[in-house]
Amino acid sequence: MPGHPNLAIGIGDIRNAAGRLGHRVRRTPVLSLDRLGILVKCESLQGIGAFKIRGATNAILGLRPAGVVTSSSGNHGMAVAAAAAAVRITAVVVMPDNATAYKREAVTRLGAEVLTSPPETAARDAACAAVAAERGLTPIPAYDHPLVIAGQGTCGLEIAEQVPEAATVVVPLGGGGLLSGVAVALRDAMGARVRIVGVEPFDGDDTVRSLRAGRRVVIPAPRTICDGARNTVPGELTFPIVEALVDDLLAVGDDEVVEAMRALAAAGLVVEPTGALAVAGALRMPAPGRRGPVVCVVSGRNIAPEEHARLLLGEGGPG
């Protein structure tokens, strides 16, 4: 893109993704939460319950593989399983041993084979690469692939069309696929007038630390309740995009995430912890930082009902 020619994707890639996805993913609504003074882009209302269906579908349609493998804590695995089933190909999902039973069962129900690995990003990726080599499957990374990033960027295209007057857009941050894709789309559509903010958990702040260090750094396996943001190192492709195009990053505590989940539940939205990161970040911002329309991407809803109730009721606290 202009001014940043070396980034992994440009706006053309996102527009191509939008053409591929067509009716295959939902154009999710933007709702106003008047009591909180924010707008929410409800990716939790995708068919699989998360934005990940955008990137997984775009990658599978773009690559046309005979079979696929990925590593995922849950939502990307569900997306790959669903996208693979839609085109009738085999899918294997390598899940960390600390993945929730709820998400593991959801991936299985969608038709994928589930394998288990240690939770560290490097271990998961190594296990995925081994399966790919052994079985001749095509890897579909959770975030660090141009087609995946471009697919997630279609969420940003929709935000620019639905809220062209947005002053701030706040996005959950795990590996950076959603944030980097949305940033490319918004910078093209809205330029510097929109403030783009990424939010990750305190105990999974690999990107915050990496920006501070000026390079990608590895952190210990996070223990946050935000299972979709337990990355130990930012993506090789996503980190330069975040570094170039994102205005600010915030790290929030699990207690703030639970408060955001409660606020969203009061508005009628079931949201998993990772999905509530952006709202937690927006509520942390001082009032001057929330002038003008603030759009928060609510990225997913996939949490067991009993766990959702436990967190909202404060039984045992986050953990």
274 and 194 inside one domain: yes
pLDDT of residue 128: 94
Amino acid at 156: G
Tell me what the pLDDT averaged over the chain comes to.
Answer: 94
| Residues 201 and 186 both lie in one domain | yes
**Do 44 and 59 reside in the same domain of the chain?**
no
Cα–Cα separations (whole angstroms), residue 56 to 72, 134, 142, 270 = 12, 22, 8, 23
In a domain? residue 229: yes
Per-residue pLDDT at 315 exceeds 80: no
- Cα pseudo-dihedral 170, 171, 172, 175, rounded to 10: -140
Residue 108, number of CB atoms within 10 A of its CB: 16
Does residue 100 sit in the same domain as residue 224? no
pLDDT of 124 > 90? The answer is no
Boundary of a domain, candidates 101, 123, 139:
139
Tens-digit pLDDT profile for residues 64-99? 999 999 998 899 999 999 999 999 999 999 998 888
Has residue 154 got a pLDDT over 70? Answer: yes
**Residue 249 reports pLDDT greater than 90:** yes
Same domain as 269, residue 185: yes
Residue 5 lies in a domain: no
Residues 98-126 have a mean pLDDT of: 90
Domain edge (last residue) among 107, 139, 171: 139
Structural domain total, the chain: 2
Q: Which domain-ending residue is among 86, 117, 139? A: 139
Rounded CA separation 282/276 (Å): 10
Q: What is the pLDDT of residue 319?
A: 44
Residue 132 lies in a domain: yes
Domain span at 84: 52-139
Active site residues: 52, 73, 200, 204, 206, 299
pLDDT digits (tens, 9 = 90+) for 269-304: 999 999 999 999 999 987 666 678 999 999 999 999
| CA proximity to 228, closest of 54, 50, 101 | 50
The whole-angstrom separation of Cα 51 and Cα 74 is: 12
Give domain status of residue 3, yes or no: no
Q: What pLDDT score does 122 carry?
A: 80
Per-residue pLDDT at 317: 52
**Could you tell me if 209 and 238 lie in one domain?**
yes
Q: Answer yes or no: do 303 and 172 share one domain.
A: yes
159, 99: one domain = no
User: Residue 119 — very low, low, confident or very high, per pLDDT cuts 50/70/90?
Assistant: confident
Classify residue 2: in a domain, yes or no.
Answer: no
pLDDT-wise least confident of 45-49, 104-108, 117-121, 305-309: 117-121
- Is 6 among the domain residues? no
Report the CATH number at residue 17: 3.40.50.1100
**319 in a structural domain:** no
Answer yes or no: do 243 and 202 share one domain.
yes
Clarify whether residues 74 and 44 are in a common domain.
Answer: no
pLDDT in tens, 200-236: 999 999 999 999 999 999 999 899 999 999 988 999 9
Percentage of the chain beyond pLDDT 90 is 86
Percent of the chain with pLDDT over 70: 96
> Can you give the three-state secondary structure of 172-241, one letter per residue?
ECCCCHHHHHHHHHHHHHHHHHCEEEEEEEHHHCHHHHHHHHCCCCCCCCCCCCCHHHCCCCCCCCHHHH
Contact 71, 125 (CB under 8 A): yes
Three-state DSSP state, 133: helix
DSSP letter assigned to residue 116: E
Q: What crossing angle do the helices spanning 11-21 and 177-190 adopt, rounded to 10°?
A: 110
Same domain as 209, residue 107 = no
Q: pLDDT band for position 53 (50/70/90)?
A: very high
Judge if 102 and 15 occupy the same domain: no
**113: closest CA among 138, 80, 141?**
80
In this prediction, residue 305 carries a pLDDT of 96
